[in-house]
C-alpha cells in the first residue's frame, strides 16, 4: 500500500486548457512524491477532456460556477489530507526540485507556516523577477517584492511579510486554523490577507530563492484591466477590516473615500481624466459598494486585534 503523500499541490484553473498542461507537466517532473488536486472552476474550453485524457492520476474538483482563485483554493483545501499544501498557478511551471526545497524549509523552520518561491517571468529577457515574496506598503497596498528586478536579486532566504499564492507551500493545519483562504475575495489580495492572519496568529512566512517557478504573469488575468482594479481596491479594503488594528483599518477606508471624493471633484471641474482604472470614480464607487456589502462578513471573520 502506498504511503500517503506529505504534500498536496492545489492548482486552480478556469478556461485555461492551453496553460494548465505545462503546469501539470512540471509537477509530474518533481523530485518529491506528492498528490495533485486540480480545481476546475466550471471551465468550458476543453479543460475537462484534457484532464481526463492526459492526467488520469490527478484528482479533479469541478465546481458548478467560477469561484475565482480564492474560492478555488478553498474548494481544493476541502479535499487535502496531507500536512503540507502547495499552491501553483495554472500559468506557472516549477523547476523539478521546487517542492523538495519548499518542504525542507518548513521542516527546518517550525515557526514558519508558509514559504514562498522565487517567481521568474516567462519569456522575458534578460531574466526578470516576478515575485520574491509579498510586501505590505505603508499606504496599505500589497506589492510583489522584486517585481521587474534582475532575476538574481534577492538571493538570500529569509523572512518576508507574505507569500505569493502563485507558488507557495503552507502548513495545512495552520492555514485551516486562520480560516483558510477568504473565498469571498474571489481574486487578488487573498494571499496577502492569509499571510497577515498567519502572522497575527504567531507564525512567520519565509522566502526560498532556490525554489524556482516560471510564471506567465497576467496570462489568466489582465492586470491593466478594470476588473483587476476593482478586485484589488475592494479586497484591499476588506483585508484591512479583517486583519489590521481598527484604527488603521478606519484610516485606509477614510483615505479611500477622501481620494474618491477628490477625484469626483476634479471630474466636475473638467480636469483631465486619470488614465489608471483605480483612479476612476465609477470603479472606486463600485469597489466601495462591494466592500460595504461584504463588511458584515469581514467584521465577523476579523482577527482578534484591537
Rounded Cα distance, 113 and 146, in Å = 22
Sign of the Cα torsion 236, 242, 243, 246 reads positive
Rounded Cα distance, 167 and 90, in Å = 10
Rounded Cα distance, 128 and 146, in Å = 9
Residue 274: its pLDDT value, please? 62
* pLDDT above 60 (res 5): yes
**Region 129-139: what's the mean pLDDT?**
95
pLDDT tens column, 7-18: 999 999 999 999
Please report which confidence band the pLDDT of residue 1 belongs to, taking 50, 70 and 90 as the band edges. Answer: very low
Residue 255: its pLDDT value, please? 96
Residue 274, C-beta contacts closer than 8 angstroms, at least 6 positions apart: 263, 280
* pLDDT above 90 (res 275): no
Please report which confidence band the pLDDT of residue 225 belongs to, taking 50, 70 and 90 as the band edges. Answer: confident
Which carries the bigger pLDDT value, residue 185 or residue 306? 185
pLDDT tens column, 231-251: 999 999 999 999 999 999 999
**Region 175-194: what's the mean pLDDT?**
97
* pLDDT above 80 (res 25): yes
pTM confidence score: 0.94
- Residue 127 · residue 150 · CB < 8 Å: yes
Residue 219: its pLDDT value, please? 47
Residue 222: its pLDDT value, please? 56
Amino acid at each position: 500500500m502506498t504511503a500517503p503523500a506529505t504534500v498536496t499541490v492545489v492548482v486552480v484553473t478556469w478556461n485555461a486548457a492551453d496553460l494548465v498542461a505545462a503546469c501539470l507537466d512540471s509537477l509530474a517532473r518533481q523530485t518529491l512524491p506528492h498528490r495533485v488536486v486540480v480545481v476546475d472552476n466550471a471551465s468550458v474550453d476543453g479543460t475537462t477532456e484534457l484532464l481526463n485524457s492526459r492526467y488520469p492520476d490527478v484528482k479533479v474538483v469541478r465546481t458548478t460556477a467560477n469561484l475565482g482563485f480564492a474560492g478555488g483554493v478553498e474548494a481544493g483545501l476541502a479535499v487535502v489530507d496531507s500536512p503540507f499544501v502547495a499552491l501553483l498557478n495554472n500559468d506557472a511551471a516549477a523547476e523539478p526540485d521546487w517542492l523538495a526545497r519548499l518542504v525542507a524549509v518548513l521542516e527546518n523552520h517550525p515557526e514558519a507556516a508558509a514559504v514562498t518561491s522565487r517567481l521568474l517571468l516567462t519569456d522575458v529577457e534578460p531574466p526578470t523577477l516576478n515575485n520574491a515574496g509579498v510586501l505590505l506598503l505603508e499606504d496599505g497596498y500589497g506589492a510583489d517584492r522584486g517585481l521587474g528586478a534582475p532575476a538574481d536579486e534577492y538571493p538570500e532566504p529569509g523572512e518576508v511579510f507574505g507569500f505569493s499564492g502563485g507558488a507557495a507551500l503552507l502548513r495545512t493545519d495552520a492555514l485551516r486554523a486562520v480560516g483558510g483562504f477568504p473565498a469571498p475575495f474571489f481574486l487578488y489580495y487573498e494571499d496577502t490577507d492569509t499571510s497577515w492572519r498567519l502572522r497575527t496568529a504567531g507564525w512567520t512566512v519565509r522566502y526560498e530563492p532556490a525554489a524556482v517557478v516560471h510564471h506567465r504573469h497576467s496570462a489568466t488575468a489582465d492586470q491593466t484591466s478594470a476588473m483587476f482594479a476593482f478586485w484589488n481596491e475592494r479586497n484591499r479594503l476588506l483585508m484591512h477590516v479583517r486583519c489590521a488594528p481598527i484604527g488603521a483599518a478606519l484610516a485606509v477606508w477614510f483615505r479611500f473615500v477622501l481620494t474618491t471624493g477628490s477625484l469626483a471633484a476634479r471630474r466636475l471641474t473638467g480636469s483631465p481624466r486619470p488614465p489608471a482604472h483605480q483612479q476612476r470614480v465609477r470603479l472606486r464607487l463600485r469597489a466601495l459598494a462591494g466592500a460595504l456589502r461584504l463588511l458584515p462578513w469581514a467584521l465577523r471573520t476579523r482577527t482578534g486585534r484591537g
